[in-house]
Amino acid sequence: MSASINWDTLGFDAYRTRTVILSHYKDGQWSPIEKTETFSFTFDPFAQVFHYAISCFEGLKAFRQKDGRISLFRPDQNAARMARTADYLGMPCPSKEMFVKMCELCVENNLEFLAPYGHKASLYIRPLLVGMHPQMQLVPYPEAIFAVMCAPAGSYYGAHLRSCAAVIPGDFDRAAPKGSGSYKIGANYAATFRPYKYAHEQGYAELLYLNSSTREFVDEFGSSNFFGIKGNKYVTPLSDSVLPSITNLTLQQVARDFGMEVEKRPVPLEELAEFEEAGGCGTAVVITPMSHIDIKPVLAEPLVSRSFRYEPDGQVGPACTKLYNRIVGIQFGELEDTHGWCHYWLD
């Protein structure tokens, strides 16, 4: 069965599918896994999540492949990253087995929202862990809800790989030097809503953040990691404030498979002038090639103090194209999955 969705025009939006999978943690244990079709949860108004933003999430995708099989892409990596984030927040976290099982159930119970093969669409899975305990004190408490929901997804910026503009805001930072930037906590994203509003109003698809202590190095985009291509090198920032992107990890391996050199090291702002191609990488986008990256001392003001140019608007360089095609080819089962990244569980 297939939902009445135009798979070819899908973007990346919240979408009410059929089933949410969930479990509660209380009194030292997870409740049996439940399914709900009501899409409504009950929370105490004093719950940690509302007052102190005790909340984290993950994002991964399921694909219907060329031979009809369904796969999840590297769910074990998302399970491990959520465990790291939950530990940072002092939250209980599902085991890797439970995390993966609930993602599988989410796909199985929403299969009509997973596009048939051939539309470049997928099912985006959003595991969410929120603190439920009613309290005023600033102390961790082991009570939470773990819910896995999903939404049909096309590619984030449109159906085809095309380059976009990004802006470096001179008056906004994403993460404090010894703060929470490398964890996937909801609060990190709250701080990006205002600069994103300014950026989008001016036609920029992305924000590129610098390290906030000295503003001399590139950290990452608001919703993806940064990489640059210089000759045969794939270069990506080493920084304590950057989210460890699973797509970036995958791209680094794919780049090595192509015989490229991979450098993970601090990337000085000045080096943006030396890259032939630059892009963002993440689950939603795989790769967003950059046409240009502007620096704006004050994001809401018109002045652009410097611009780094890569591709004419909409066009995509050869390295981005080949890296993207390799990953998407593996995800859709068109190319051999030599690293065992596709997770299969259905007959």
Ligand X SMILES: Cc1ncc(COP(=O)(O)O)c(C=O)c1O
184 has catalytic annotation:
yes
Helix (H) or strand (E) holding 36: strand 34-36
> What is residue 201's three-state secondary structure?
helix
According to CB under 6 A, which one of 104, 143, 206, 220 is a site residue for ligand X?
220
224 binds ligand X (CB under 6 A): yes
**Residue recorded with tokens 């509003």:** 197
> What is residue 193's three-state secondary structure?
helix
Q: How does 187-210 read in b/e, with b if 16+ C-beta sit within 10 Å?
A: ebeeebeebbebbeeeebbbbbbb
Least distance to ligand X, CB of residue 247, Å? 3
| CB of 47 or CB of 185, closer to ligand X | 185
Catalytic residue among 66, 96, 120, 184: 184
236 binds ligand X (CB under 6 A): no
123 binds ligand X (CB under 6 A): no
Least distance to ligand X, CB of residue 330, Å? 15
Report yes or no: 75 and 162 within 8 Å, Cβ to Cβ. Answer: no
Residues contacting 219, CB < 8 A, separation 6+: 174, 175, 181, 209, 210, 211, 212, 226, 237, 239, 241, 242
What type of residue is 87? D
Report yes or no: 276 and 255 within 8 Å, Cβ to Cβ. Answer: no
Residues in contact with ligand X, shown as a per-residue x/- string from 155 to 184 under the rule CB under 6 A: ------------------------------
247 binds ligand X (CB under 6 A): yes
According to CB under 6 A, which one of 19, 110, 283, 288 is a site residue for ligand X?
283
Least distance to ligand X, CB of residue 188, Å? 7
Least distance to ligand X, CB of residue 122, Å? 13
237 binds ligand X (CB under 6 A): no
Q: Cβ-count burial of 319 within 10 angstroms (0-12 exposed, 13-18 middle, 19+ buried)? A: buried
Torsion on CA atoms 246, 250, 256, 262, rounded to nearest 10: -20
| CB of 48 or CB of 77, closer to ligand X | 77
Strands 233-237 and 261-265, by their bridges, are parallel
Give 6's Cβ-side CA count (13 Å radius): 5
Phi and psi based region of residue 20 (left: phi greater than 0; alpha: psi -120 to 50; beta: remaining): beta
48 binds ligand X (CB under 6 A): no
311 binds ligand X (CB under 6 A): no
| CB of 132 or CB of 323, closer to ligand X | 323
Kindly indicate which of the ranges 210-218, 229-237, 238-246, 329-337 contains the residues binding ligand X, using the contact rule CB under 6 A.
Answer: 238-246
* Range 314-333, binding ligand X (CB under 6 A): none
110 binds ligand X (CB under 6 A): no
According to CB under 6 A, which one of 92, 127, 154, 282 is a site residue for ligand X?
282
Kindly indicate which of the ranges 25-33, 149-157, 240-248, 312-320 contains the residues binding ligand X, using the contact rule CB under 6 A.
Answer: 240-248
Q: Which residues are catalytic?
A: 184
Which residues lie near ligand X (CB under 6 A)? 59, 220, 223-225, 243, 245-248, 282-284
